[in-house]
Amino acid sequence: MHPNRIAIESAARAFGFDAIGITDIELPEDERHLEQWLERGWHGQMHYMAKHGRRRSRPAQLLPGTLRVISARMNYWPGDAQPADETLSQSETAYVSRYALGRDYHKLMRKALGRLAEAIAELAGPHGYRVFVDSAPVLEKALARNAGIGWIGKNTNLIARDAGSWFFLGEIFTDLPLPLDAPASAHCGSCQACMPACPTGAIVAPYRLDARRCISYLTIELEGSIPEPLRAAIGNRIYGCDDCQLVCPWNKFARAAAHPDFRVRHGLDAARLVELFEWSAEQFDQRMRGSAIYRIGYERWLRNIAVALGNARSSPAVLSALEARREHASPVVREHVQWALEAHRSRATSATAARSSA
Ligand code: B12
Ligand code: SF4
Ligand code: SF4
């Protein structure tokens, strides 16, 4: 391996990354897939996915002069969290996706990438560069696959043989002609476990995700009303969803995050829905500032919890929490609260009917 490559890898590890890889900027096939996905409207309300033309699939259009992309992986699996299957099976407990239990990763990753880019300047000479994490118009998974970090699985997540898929990706675009790594090969084989495991049928075919059905989209990205036919399948998931990763056999190799920022905060791994629903706007602001959840805002927070309460086992606590928000100022919250109360009513009615006909 080129001496610079070894030195870049050890600098990356020192800044908290779990793996890196280097790729060129050619993404012709992924560009076709992306364009098909957009033509089908599978991005829903995520207009930012369509906004940047081909800059997303052509890195040199986003940052002129770019020759290489250094893709970096940071594990986020919180080893201290209550096991996911336990939380998912308790209908009165909130399920928060594993990546959002700790602090927001964007700032941490961006800072670490900046330090890595500076270290590369010392090792390989001054360079024109920019760092990206998540929100920028970058095809992160395709670049990471080409850089040898892992393959895109049928659930559309990037999977690494030695770590599963519980990690974030970030990149440094650079004009240095660094030596390339080999792309990763695919290892889903004949497995299809993630497809039937998806509660809303969002993985419509291998490698094809209709985001409009994905619980992650419905609870995080979607503004306004959640389509009624999908609400029951959301269960107790109030922020994101992990089911297609929880069943993935490669996640047996997941490693717990090393960084303390990814430790569980505010007991979000096992919080009671009724307690979260009681938070005031100020409490939401205070507690969720510094978390990825802060981005969805208080209204979507209440909307999502209302749906989960509608799916919870009926109890006086659940019903009175919903009643207390029946006249909430937000029409979106009110509409979801009414739906939830109606869900409890109709389940109670059908249970009574079943008892009397027995
Ligand atoms: C938009 C987006 C979403 C959307 C859409 C997801 C998606 N699959 O595209 C929603 C809101 C649903 C979402 C959800 C999640 N996301 Co997201 N998301 C993104 C974002 C911003 C863009 C992804 C993108 O480009 N989509 C475009 C479509 C076209 O891509 P795609 O479906 O993956 O299709 C690709 C391939 O599958 C292939 N392909 C497509 N069709 C076909 C057909 C065939 C036959 C073949 C062979 C290939 C193929 O080509 C496409 C282009 O490479 C990235 C950050 C970034 N800038 O890249 C994060 C990112 C992908 N998300 C991430 C995470 C963590 C999640 C969640 C796990 C969060 C959660 N727990 O709720 C879920 C996972 C849901 C899932 N099963 O994918 C991480 C993924 C890390 C990893 N290990 O893969 C990223 C990289 C953010 C980051 N910086 O870490 N996300
Ligand atoms: S994150 Fe959940 S809803 Fe989205 S594709 Fe995976 S299993 Fe389906
Ligand atoms: S569950 Fe199976 S098919 Fe789905 S991503 Fe994992 S290995 Fe691939």
Question: pLDDT value at position 3?
Answer: 66
pLDDT digits (tens, 9 = 90+) for 163-211: 999 999 999 999 999 999 999 999 999 999 999 999 999 999 999 999 9
Stretch 316-325: mean pLDDT: 98
Q: What pLDDT was estimated at residue 234?
A: 98
User: Of the bound ligands, which one is closest to the alpha carbon of residue 203?
Assistant: 2
Question: For the segment 209-253, what is each residue's pLDDT rounded down to a tens digit?
Answer: 999 999 999 999 999 999 999 999 999 999 999 999 999 999 998
Q: Please provide residue 106's backbone torsions phi and psi, each rounded to the nearest 5 degrees.
A: -60, -50
CA-CA distances (angstroms) from residue 339 to 9, 67, 176, 271?
Answer: 52, 53, 56, 22
Q: Whose CA is nearest to atom 3 of ligand 3?
A: 192
User: What number of helices (H) and strands (E) belong to the chain?
Assistant: 16, 10
pLDDT at 1: 62
Per-chain mean pLDDT for the chain: 96
Residue 209: the pLDDT is 98
pLDDT at 350 over 90: no
Q: How confident is the model at residue 255 (pLDDT cuts 50, 70, 90)?
A: confident
Is the beta carbon of 234 within 6 A of some atom in ligand 2? no
What is the reported pLDDT for 291?
97
What pLDDT score was predicted for residue 34? Answer: 98
Residue from 37, 85, 155 whose mutation best tests the ligand 2 pocket (most atoms within 8 A of CB) = 155
| CB-neighbour burial class of residue 56 (10 A; exposed 0-12, middle 13-18, buried 19+) | buried
